[in-house]
Copies of this chain bind each other. A is one copy, B any other.
């Protein structure tokens, strides 16, 4: 049981769900907001503002990278992250279209 049935759904439903999943933890919301505030910052700075261990923060960063919401590059021994505005725009459009369609149907 608990097998994965997600390939039986439509591509756009899966995509939307994946984005939502990436945003489904307060730590990841907080990370994105922090990146927006500082524009660019390193992992350690994020660890400082979150109530989580370094390894846990690293895991959350990895998930945000996976869906492309953020970009990261190594800068010496540090890792420098920033928001991937291109992907962000794509997802924003996706979301507002989803919500927008609901609106027009139900009112």
Contact B85–A107 (Cβ < 8 Å): yes
Contact A26–B39 (Cβ < 8 Å): no
Contact A9–B27 (Cβ < 8 Å): yes
Contact A32–B95 (Cβ < 8 Å): no
- Interface size on A, as a range, is 35 or more
Contact A85–B106 (Cβ < 8 Å): yes
Contact B92–A106 (Cβ < 8 Å): no
Contact B17–A101 (Cβ < 8 Å): no
Contact B17–A23 (Cβ < 8 Å): yes
Contact B105–A36 (Cβ < 8 Å): yes
Given contacts A26-B9, A105-B39, A106-B39, contact A92 B83 (CB under 8 A): no
